[in-house]
Amino acid sequence: MFQRLLEGLLEGLGTRLSLLALVLASALSASGVRAEEAHAIAMHGRPAMPADFTHMPYANPDAPKGGRLTWGILGTFDSLNPFIVKGLAVQPVRNYVIESLLARGNDEPFTLYGLIARSVETDDARSFVTFRLDPRARFSDGKPVLAEDVLFSWQLLRDHGRPNHRQYYSKVAKAEAPDPLTVRFDLAGANDRELPLILGLMPILPKHAVDVATFEETTLTGPIGSGPYRIMAVKPGASVSLTRNPDYWGRDLPINRGLYNFDEIRLDYFREANGQFEAFKRGLYDFRVEHEPLRWHDGYDFPAARSGEVIRDTIKPGVPQPSEFLVFNTRRPIFADIRVRQALTLLFDFELVNRNYFFGLYSRVAGYFAGSDLSAYGRPADARERELLKPFAAQIPPDIMDGSYHLPVTDGSGRDRTTLRAALKLLSDAGYDLDGTVLRNRVTKAPFTFEMLVTTRDQERIALAFQRDLKRAGIEPSVRAVDPVQFDQRRLGYEFDMIQNRWDQSLSPGNEQYFYWGSAAADNPGTRNYMGAKDPAVDAMIDALLEARDHTAFVSAVRALDRALISGFYTIPLFNVSEQWIARWNRIERPKATALSGYLPETWWSKGQPQAK
């Protein structure tokens, strides 16, 4: 039929071009290749919000404007550039000052809606993506945001940005600007269905105001962005003040209605956790996210909390539960043997710690997607998972594959003999024997010892409890407490034996998984592959989840990744957090609806302000 149509086209010169265009368009549409311009893009499925939506369901479109929100942040800073490895940056600059082409819909696993780009276009294969910019978009100095700024930002971050930016943006085969408000990225050969969304989240920097030669150096000069706030005051290492831009171009966009309601955002930094909490009790900042169960349980018995001036919110988000781990640095020879890591996992007495320190508030799950459909823990592998993991079957234990593997459960006494015997057997197989009360390397006779690096009171208490557990096996670890600045520097440089860490996961894990545990990230300072994992199975499963065309295949790939990571025993699972604990002074109000992702300070407002118009 297609051939007959083409032959017919030759009979009429005046109509053949238009007919050919119709035929080709029909063929392309039937094959699923045709691209369509859209207001949003979802990783899987379709966006939840229609093109004519007016605001997000978790935002109050009538929220009053005005007032100030003060944050209390633990640590310090020496840079206002969050896009480079060097220095300790002020992270809120990323969203409050610097915008992306698209913005997240926080009620969906991974959907992006128009921001600087009013529309996005891609094909079924996601072999390209085109962004058409909103002609109203302006930087805070009044200059328009153009396609040349987008191309400049892509090149700058690809060549000089953080490791994740360099990794993501180097996948682009070609980038061009057909006109001043359109940018097209050719993604041929990337085999990465998430890449159009990753590019949609790319921070857009002004070409006219960035010096490429000094970009990778720390700076306390406030950047120019197109976002709702501008940096107005900086006290090095102590505080930063952001002021809402009255001329912000995007204030009436549907994605922004009800957001960014404070006239000022003040970021105050504290070098010590107890001092930070005392400052909150005195009302020196407006809200805190509590991470310590002991403090949440009995630390809020102060006058303002009793009177209702301080409100405590417990929020249950719909994303995977944040999980805390003790992380083995497998770059260290002492942790290179998986049997050693398995043995130390057996020796951690969770039941004792949870009862004595956490009031039984926590649960414990192996794996990295706890509390979600993406978790492989306790689930047998489906046919798709088994097929994905077939080339690596020898390294995936049968009990992890069939879902019967479970973390050890002790009697909670701190003296469980069953787990101790099993741990000593593994350590013996790895070349370590008890010499009296000291565990030694069978060949070198060196004692088994390492350092646990901590920075908070809660981390120190867990480390000291684990230290007592390890002594029963003849292991004498040291616990070293450092300030948050030094902790971050050593963590980013992999200068530790063991640390406590958590990876926050979404319902749509993607390219960031390479950054967390991909082989290429293991020796690259500044990534989050703190354990130094170099596992072909892990790399292959990340590839598979990025290539998945539908949700079912995607879930299987993520579960297969979870099984590969569990099988590596790179960490000791500590506990899972099923709730977000937020304390706020009652001068701050928030919407009744909560986003799938949890709390969002950008949706809050100051009590007593006049209604928005």
Taking only the tens place, the pLDDT of each residue in 321-374 is 888 999 999 999 999 999 999 999 999 999 999 988 887 878 898 999 998 999
Question: What mean pLDDT do residues 190-201 have?
Answer: 94
| Beta-bridge mates of residue 439 | 434
Radius of gyration of the chain (CA): 27
Q: Is the pLDDT of residue 7 over 60?
A: no
Instruction: Identify the pLDDT of residue 577.
Output: 82
Indicate whether 457 pLDDT > 50. Answer: yes
pLDDT 10s digits, 283-312: 999 999 998 878 888 899 999 999 999 999
Mean pLDDT of the chain: 92
Q: What is the pLDDT of residue 35?
A: 67
**Rounded CA gap, 533 and 542, in Å?**
13
Q: Contact 550/279 with Cβ under 8 angstroms?
A: no
Contacts 24+ apart (CB under 8 A), 184-192: 184/128, 184/129, 184/130, 185/128, 185/129, 185/130, 185/154, 186/127, 186/128, 187/126, 187/127, 187/128, 187/129, 188/127, 188/128, 191/543, 191/546, 191/547, 192/126, 192/511, 192/546, 192/547
**pLDDT tops 50 at residue 73:** yes
Please give the distance of CA 59 from its chain centroid, rounded to a whole number.
Answer: 22
List, for residues 466-523, the tens digit of each pLDDT value.
Answer: 999 999 999 999 999 999 889 999 999 999 999 999 998 989 999 899 999 999 999 9
**What local confidence, expressed as pLDDT, does residue 456 receive?**
87
Q: Order of strands across the sheet with 571-576?
A: 478-481, 451-454, 498-503, 323-328, 571-576
Query: What's the rounded mean pLDDT across residues 255-264?
Result: 98
What is the predicted pLDDT for the residue at 270?
A: 95
Which residues have CB under 8 Å from 354's CB, separation 6+?
360, 361, 362, 364, 575
Residues 268 and 300: beta-carbon distance below 8 Å: no
Question: Distance between CA 209 and CA 289 in Å, rounded?
Answer: 35
* Residue 370 identity: A
Query: What is the model's pLDDT at position 611?
Result: 59
Domains annotated for the chain, with CATH where assigned, are 2-31 (no CATH), 36-214 (3.40.190.10), 323-571 (3.10.105.10)
Is a pLDDT exceeding 70 seen at residue 11? no
Give me the pLDDT at residue 470, please: 97
